Amino acid sequence: MPEYIKTNRPGHTLENAIERTNGNNAVIVKYEGGLRKKYIEWSPLTEQMFRPKTDPRYFRRKTIVMRAGEEVVEKDVPPDMLTANMNPFVQIIYRIVQRGGITSHEDIVRALLTEERVFSASDKNAVDVIEGILGYMNRREYYLLQHDGRLKVGFELPKSYHLVEYKRGYDPFEYHIMRLADGHGMVSRDEIYGYITDYLGWLKTLTKIDMYLDRLVERGNLKKIQRNYFQYAKPLESNK
């Protein structure tokens, strides 16, 4: 089965190609049986068509020589990207707490609504959803730990070799569903299911995806064509 890898063009750094991808610095390489078979021009459309993985070289640990000796440093996920196989809201909340140190629930809610704007401040259910995610991160997975009524980072989040764009002001699920629809013009429900659950690995249940589809149709971003097809109608507006 072929494998597609996004990597850098000659004369461009791998960091630039992955963190600031464009048609000049990045290219998609098709591999079969471990052998390079074909170069494919990178564009938003070919990104959607071939769903390439990030070049594994990007994630290699860096060794920094310190006075006390060599130190191995893990490569962080860039701030304008998210990783596959981990709920995007979990990743965003973890970053908020990581950069703020010991952080209150209220500060996390404010950051999500007014800085990151991945939830709309006008959504009456937003705070309840956020509190539910915080409970999952704190009481089930220990990604966050209690400290005098506040939260600090706990276990490190698992990393994936697959990075995708993160855009402030937009719900990550809505943003990537619309990118898929924009790239194809018309997209089936099964294609959207596969993209979110298999390619991104962000959800395991399909009912939540249906909720997003219903919302996007209601807002007029997607137009439902017959029973299980959706057509791109208009771009998303950022959350305020």
Residue 143 maps to a domain: yes
Q: Which of 100, 96, 136 is nearest to 119 (CA)?
A: 96
**How does pLDDT run across 208-238, given as a tens digit for each residue?**
999 999 999 999 999 999 889 999 999 999 9
Per the domain annotation, does 240 fall within a domain? no
pLDDT tens sequence across 10-27: 999 998 898 889 999 999
- Cα(first)–Cα(last) distance of the chain, in Å? 44
176 and 147 fall within a common domain: no
C-beta of residue 85 within 8 angstroms of C-beta of residue 158 = yes
Last residue of a domain, one of 126, 153, 180: 153
Residues 98 and 133 in one domain: yes
pLDDT(70) > 70: no
Task: Give tens-digit pLDDT for 114-144.
Answer: 999 999 999 999 999 999 999 999 998 999 9
> Which domain, by its residues, includes 124?
81-153
142 and 194 together in one domain: no
> pTM to 2 decimals?
0.80
Compute the distance between CA of residue 66 and CA of residue 195 in angstroms, rounded to an integer.
43
Sign of dihedral through CA atoms 97, 163, 206, 125?
positive
